[in-house]
Structure 1
Amino acid sequence: MAKNYTALAKTILKGVGGSKNINNVTHCTTRLRFKLKDVSKANDDDLKNTDGVVTVVKAAGQYQVVIGNEVADVYEAVLKEGHLPGGGEVADDDGEEDDTSFMNKAIALISGIFTDILGPLSAGGIIKGLVVMFAAFGWLSTRSGTYQILYSIGDSIFYFLPVFLGVTTARRFRMNQFIGLAIGAVLTYPNIVALASSKTVLGTLFKGTAFASEIHTTFLGIPVVTMSYTSTVLPVIAAVWFGSVIEHWANRWVPTVIKTFIVPVITMVITLPVTLIVIGPITTWVGDAIGAVMAAVYGFSPIVAGILMGAVWQILVIFGVHWGIVAVTTADLASLGYDPILGLTCMVCYAQIGVVLAIIRQTKDPSLKKNAIGAFFSGLFGVTEPSIYGVTLPRKVPFVLSCIAGAVSGGVIGAFGSRLYMLPSMGVFAIPAYVNPDGMVVIQVVGVIVAAVIAFIVGFLLQILFGKKYVDQEFNEKQAQKEAILADGGAVQGATVVSPLDGTVIPLAEVDDEVFSSGAMGQGVAIEPTNGLLCAPVDGQVVMTFATGHAIGLKSSQGAELLIHIGMDTVNLQGKGFETLVQKGQMVSAGDPLVKFDLAAIKEAGYTVTTPIVITNSKDFGKVSQVATGEVKTGDKLLDLQPQAVDQLTQDLVANPQLNAN
């Protein structure tokens, strides 16, 4: 279970004089760095005596509260409890470096945005599906109050999805969450929705091209391409990201006394018009282009079109550009009385839940199993957002497998020539939409049912055969770490730490920084380096990297937690002269290069390069002994860590020499 830092955050906020006494707060490797309006309001003694606070330091115009390796989590709790406007004024200018690929970042971003609303999404999907089923069986009249109320309960979270995503996206971008909520609310505001279907046409933008768009209104004389943003994803995410940039910018110069209301005004007045004029239309045009391409492919081969549509449909939904396909469907239904394009996608949901059912069988993670079961039942009714965002997408390969199974379902529908004769519902409830009101074509309806069954089976089998190792990767890593730390009777093991640098060993007490010299961060030594290459001092895992490159955290395979800090106050260089060579989570061996740094440039900038190597969990060891003195080379033995059990045995032998006879 994740540790709760709420109480600690509240104590820290009280200790620094309250939220209103804070001009700015950031964090570096080990400490919260406050810029306070009145330092005299801070209570040093109370903070120093707080469990979870190592010490307090006043330096470089900052009030620094030293936390240790958990500083990033405490920082987030301080932002939340202090209701501080995350990102701008309190932006983490020394946060962990993210070296992952763009695709991994995008997946992590989207999954993170949806995590908090997976429960309501699942509930809404199940309720909506059941209500539609009751109506289909004749148990409820669609005109009855019961139906209308229950359907509204199930459908509301999907209709107002931009409002929910406005909050979670703002949290992700460290923006005021209520401004994010307001952005989502504007996108679903009735007047904005009504503009999309207005009969007033002022003109056509890009007339004669594939991007021809009717103009229903203007903003300061600028044409606005209106569309309905209800149930969309990408527009609000992009809007909130843009809004966070504006908010952070405004926070830097708006006077504190009027910041509370002026910053939201500036943010919303700039963000929302740009969203309606630029961001929304771009997503619309992307969707329109995709719809036109798929219509052309269908004309060439319904099977090929089905394979393509089934494969990419979930991706289009994730990025909210599937509305172009819906627009093509609406136009086809109006002009032809049927549509073949959207109908290729309606059974992809069963590919997704086939994969999810396999994951339920495969996972050993109780939390994942619980979430997956809820997502599965929601998916039965055609609502797959909980499955995508909470189960398969974060694990990547299972999501890809669901897309492959979806491609199979689309190909089957294309082969049977199944068509939609009305806008479909979800999952099994979409089947009636394939019934021609002028006379049912049985083979077309059968084709849809066959596609659903095949999609489910293929998704299940693909996950069973190829996806198992991707299900519990993170869970297994955590379990392995726990087992490693609990080895040898539940204590950390003894270890040897070798020198990560060429240079001269200096006692930690001689480091010109109270936090390190006092041993508050843990025991260890420092090195005055003679070259600019920092190497791994142990076999283990990189647990912290920083965008500024000035520090790195490691956890040895024996359970030792190390912090290596290159120079003092070098965070102020903002990464100049540093190059991190590894990624967070990467396994390393002693001697592997970790960070390159420019000794001359750092010294020229006025900073010392003295580098502490600290065992931050020193209390878990019986003894941390300095082995090397004077000059050392990379790889020379530097520290010896004795486990608690060994140290206790040594003490027992000293007290009772006769024990040695055994």
Structure 2
Amino acid sequence: MGKYESLAKDIIKNVGGKDNIISLLHCVTRLRFNLKDESLANDEVLKDMDGVITVMHSAGQYQVVIGNHVPQVYEEVCKAANISSTSPALQGKKMTLKEKALDLITGIMMPSIALLCACGMLKGLNSILSYLGLYSNTDGIYLLLNAIGDSIFYFLPIVIGYNTAKKINMNPFLGLIIGASLCYPTINNVDMQLFGRVVNANYTSTLLPVILIVAIAKPLETFFNRVIPDMVKTFITPMLVLLISVPLGFVVIGPFANMLAQIVSDTVLYVYQLNPILAGVFVGGLWQVLIIFGVHIVLVFLCVANIAAGIPDPILGFTTFVTFSTTGMVFAIWLKTKDKALKQIALPAWVSGFFGVTEPAIYGILLPRIEQFILSCICGAIAGGMTAFFGLKYHIMAGMGIFEIPALLDPEQPGASLVKCLIVTAVSFVIGFVVAFIKFKDRENITTEITKKDEDKNGKEVIASPMTGTLKSLDQVKDAAFANGAMGKGVAIEPNEGKVISPFDGTVMAMFPTKHAIGLLSDKGCEVLIHIGMDTVQLEGKYFETHVKQGDKIKKGDLLITFDKEAIIKEGYSLDTPILVTNTNDYLDIVVVNSNSSINAGKDLIVLL
């Protein structure tokens, strides 16, 4: 059995089985599923798996965050689910326009990101070795390495044409040939008489033209496949598609796409030039938030477009050293905490952080301690501002973490750029370390309160209802993780109003960023999770409002969360709300005391024995 075979099978089972999988991609740290029905997936079971960091619903995808061994897990999932990594994606579920756009960008860019980075790092290595005097820029080894590094950028339309065609369910080799046609040397940057006009265009090292041309070619292919007899359509269809799409693309679509790409690039650079440091602070501060919602690929897309066009990109450069400020924070937490479980999580998190994989740090350490996450965003903003101050920009694509630094080396001044990068790396790490070392504290008050529970073991504690509504047993909830008691014993309420109050005196243990769930700890040691609705995490906080924050002391009856009940139901979500005692094993029994079909907020609901 392969190292990740068991994990892959468990993931497939808990995303609803292989029949629920429409398509699967992976990025640097995530499996990106397109599922027929996301409600069949067991979020909480997946999150609790060894080898899974967390689960995200974003960009129309069901994202399982794995970490830096995602390629191996991806291969095992493909093998176990009989998914071919070379087959075109099946027709997906209905998505919003925003989700479709993000899904399209992801599908086009992700398959080639690793190779873009590899070629970029080769160019960076070549510049450094030449700068150090190991060989000159006229030597054969320099020219060969430079050719390897430049190849994917020069012939980018071929790579993107293939990826685009595959993503939109078109013959991918037809997309490849469209890209190759656009790169043909003798028709680039020359005056050509076409259809009564002179055309002079260049499509090597471009991104947008081939995407739009392949998009035009798709309906042509569909039409010709439908009307041309089967015996000849295998070669007649691609011939006709190329005959129409390439000349049309070369003369009309391509120039328009180049103009549009130039406008976007000029706009981004104009905003950057207005106040580079402010732009760096803004992007650096938001970078981890973009990662959480899985939309950071948009910045990568813009960066690749600029670099392919020979324009140094400042925007993605702002994010480079956020990794090191986050790693510094987690390193400080690892040194300072006395919590053995937290130490075990923090050690691999700060080690992987040096190599650019910060999801374990974000999801495992910072987000559950929201103050630390906010501080990490502030540190990221400082790192982004310093990057702008030193004028560091992306000149090539490169790896992540320490392997990202070659991307910021100016080919004209690689030595000076390297010194600046090392300064920003050190300062970012130290700032993150100092902030966390000063501000981080173990939850000593909570630990003390938990130990007090042992004194009341033979007594009982009563949990009041946090909502007014209709009672349901957990096995009526349409989510296996809740229904089978895996998350703890308790009861569910279908609410009559959009209000959640505190069921006891205690402390807010966790407030989820999406505001749909809250974890509470009573003064007697009971741990309770209130999860408002099923799959409402996908609303990303829409229609919810929190009235307390993590760490707040609360009294019975305090208002915790309000939500727009009608709007959530209108969006198609169930509002069945499990109220779970998550430390069930600490009690002899969990008894639901109100057997009526309805209950008012504040009335006794559960007795702990």
Query: TM-score scaled by structure 1?
Result: 0.46
TM-score with structure 2 setting the length: 0.49
Which structure: larger Rg? 1
